[in-house]
Amino acid sequence: MIAGPNGAESDRRSQAAHVEFEGVSKSYDGRTLVVDDLNLAIGKGEFVTLLGPSGSGKTTILMMLAGFQTATSGAIRIGGRSVQDLPPRKRGIGMVFQNYALFPHMTVGANLAFPLEVRGIAEERRRERVERALDLVRLGGLEDRRPGQLSGGQQQRVAIARALVFEPDLVLMDEPLGALDRSLREEMQYEIRSIHQRLGVTVVYVTHDQQEAMVMSDRIAVLNGGRIEQIAGAEGLYEEPERAFVARFIGENNRLHGRVALVEDDLCEVDVGGERIRAFRIAPCGVGDMVTLSIRPERIAIKPEDGLYHNEVGAVIEDMTFLGDHLRVRLSACGHRDVVAKIPNIVGHGAMMVGDAVRIGWTVNDCRALDFEGEEEARRNA
């Protein structure tokens, strides 16, 4: 890890950081901070995604890096050089936008050649680079078509090729797949990841789609209210969330609110709806404090063998939904009517019916005690 949430965490890679934000804040009105004390270092060749809900500051961060917005305070560096006073055209950055931003009156080849002409590249070299860029995105032979003659997926490939044609070291992508339908979006996710792996270019990507972020990224910075809640790889964010917001935002998650009854080293026991739950303690909590317990649905077992799990409680099946490879089971447990378990679609699940009283269980390590996030706060952040 190079940088942590609003902190100066670093490792040996930090000295070779390609992009650095140091104490960066941004306010449009002089009062409200859209970006609040951002400290982030991105390694050369790394694919980092800024992920968060609308208004979390992710696009503002990207625009400051591109030079289209100016930071209110702090420093932004690319390759160790401050870019505060450097105009966008001199930052050597490739940009890909959601709306493609292609010139409709130009052919595909002319669209790709334009950034090369601006940089004074000779015509012969322009042709070579355009051909190479189109081959990279699997659009070779389409250079004479106009954008309006292409599908949405093809237009987005052209936009990516144009961002790469002048061989930048850094590419910024702002919700580039948002206008595509689901199947095309999923195809393009793997396409972009493949291109990044082949070229090794540094990519800073913005999205509100968690699947998109998890498929493509080396690391994901989860943003909320202009601050980084946590930055880690996809598995780390999913398996080891450090904040209740992250646990809620990344994947489906059961959140049970309760009061700490016992603290024992890295573990704690929490009273929730008349049950005593043992959990792995992440939040710095003490006896009497309120916490939010996080349990992933696939980690909850229904009708476990006696004594298999430390946490076993009574539950009632409220609803069951068939989803192909698994069943989504909603239960009443621990004073909540919306506890969700996901179980594989295997022979024998038909023995359960809505209204059945069952036992459910989960391990201590799969139950994380995070900072308290009450229901009102959760609704505000949704």
Residue 124 lies in a domain: yes
Q: Which of 4, 13, 368, 50 lies closest to 205, judged by CA?
A: 50
Does residue 3 surpass a pLDDT of 70? no
Q: Would you say 211 and 225 are in contact if contact means Cβ atoms under 8 Å apart? A: no
* 224 and 309 co-located in one domain: no
**Residue 5 domain-assigned (yes or no):** no
Q: In this structure, are 17 and 108 located in the same domain?
A: yes
3-state secondary structure the chain: CCCCCCCCCCCHHHHHEEEEEEEEEEECCCCCEEEEEEEEEEECCCEEEEECCCCCCHHHHHHHHHCCCCCCEEEEEECCEECCCCCHHHCCEEEEECCCCCCCCCCHHHHHHHHHHHCCCCHHHHHHHHHHHHHHCCCCCCCCCCHHHCCHHHHHHHHHHHHHCCCCCEEEEECCCCCCCHHHHHHHHHHHHHHHHHHCCEEEEEECCHHHHHHHCCEEEEEECCEEEEEECHHHHHHCCCCHHHHHHCCCCEEEEEEEEEEECCEEEEEECCEEEEEEECCCCCCCCEEEEEECHHHCEECCCCCCCCEEEEEEEEEEEECCCEEEEEEEECCEEEEEEEEECCCCHHHCCCCCEEEEEECCCCEEEEECCCHHHHHHHC
| More confident of the two residues 266 and 380 | 266
What pLDDT is recorded for position 375? 54
Q: Residues 139, 254: one domain? A: no
Which CATH number fits the domain that encloses residue 76?
3.40.50.300
Q: Highest mean pLDDT: which of 95-104, 222-231, 350-359?
A: 222-231
Q: How many CA atoms lie within 13 A of 3 on its CB side?
A: 29
Residue where one domain finishes, among candidates 215, 239, 263: 239
Are 23 and 64 a contacting pair, CB within 8 Å?
no
| Per-residue confidence (pLDDT) for residue 308, from 0 to 100 | 86
- Mark whether 252 and 165 lie in a shared domain: no
Give the pLDDT band of residue 7 (cuts 50, 70, 90).
very low
What pLDDT score was predicted for residue 118?
86
Q: Are residues 181 and 36 in the same domain?
A: yes
CA distance 11 to 63: 27
Asked whether residue 42 is assigned to any structural domain, the reply reads yes
Question: Would you say residue 44 has pLDDT above 80?
Answer: yes
Rounded distance between C-alpha atoms, residue 254 and residue 356, angstroms: 20
**CA 125 – CA 133 distance, rounded (Å):** 12
pLDDT of residue 32: 93
Higher pLDDT, 99 or 259: 259
Would you say residue 80 lies in a domain?
yes
Residue 301 shares a structural domain with residue 203:
no
Instruction: Residue 253: give its domain's CATH number.
Output: 2.40.50.100
Nearest to 90 by CA among 78, 102, 98, 80: 78
Q: Which of 179, 210, 239 is the C-terminal boundary of a domain?
A: 239
The CA-atom distances, in angstroms, between 354 and each of 328, 369, 372 are 12, 30, 31
Q: In the predicted model, is pLDDT for residue 14 greater than 50? A: no
Structure confidence by residue, pLDDT tens digits, 158-211: 999 999 998 899 999 999 888 788 888 888 899 899 999 999 999 999 999 999
Which of 128-132, 188-192, 341-345, 348-352 has the least mean pLDDT? 348-352
Domain that holds residue 283: 244-381
What pLDDT does residue 181 have?
Answer: 84
Give the model's pLDDT for residue 347. Answer: 55
| Confidence band of 378 (pLDDT split at 50, 70, 90) | very low
* Residue 140 sits in the same domain as residue 270: no
Q: Order of strands across the sheet with 336-344? A: 301-302, 357-362, 311-322, 326-333, 336-344
The answer to whether 99 and 108 have CB atoms below 8 angstroms apart is: no
- The span from the CA of 95 to the CA of 80, in Å, is 20
**Do 161 and 31 reside in the same domain of the chain?**
yes
User: Are residues 181 and 294 located together in one domain of the fold?
Assistant: no
Please check whether residue 7 lies inside any domain of the structure. Answer: no
Give the bridge partners for 341, in sequence order: 329
Amino acid at 28: Y
Please say if the pLDDT value at position 8 is more than 50. no
The pairing of beta strand 47-51 with beta strand 202-207 = parallel
Q: Phi then psi for 55, rounded to 5 degrees?
A: 85, 10
pTM of structure: 0.86
Task: Please tell me whether residues 323 and 201 are part of one structural domain.
Answer: no
Question: Would 3 be classed as within a structural domain?
Answer: no
- The model's confidence at residue 275, banded by pLDDT at 50, 70 and 90, is very high
| Number of domains within the chain | 2
Let me know if residue 6 belongs to a domain.
Answer: no
The pLDDT-based confidence of 11 (bands split at 50, 70, 90) is very low
Do 43 and 159 lie in one domain? The reply is yes
Mean pLDDT of the chain: 89
Q: Is the domain of 170 the same as that of 274?
A: no
- Domain boundary residue among 206, 239, 272? 239
Measure Cα distances from 177 to 4, 61, 172, 190, 300 in Å: 27, 19, 13, 12, 34
Residue 259, in any domain of the structure: yes
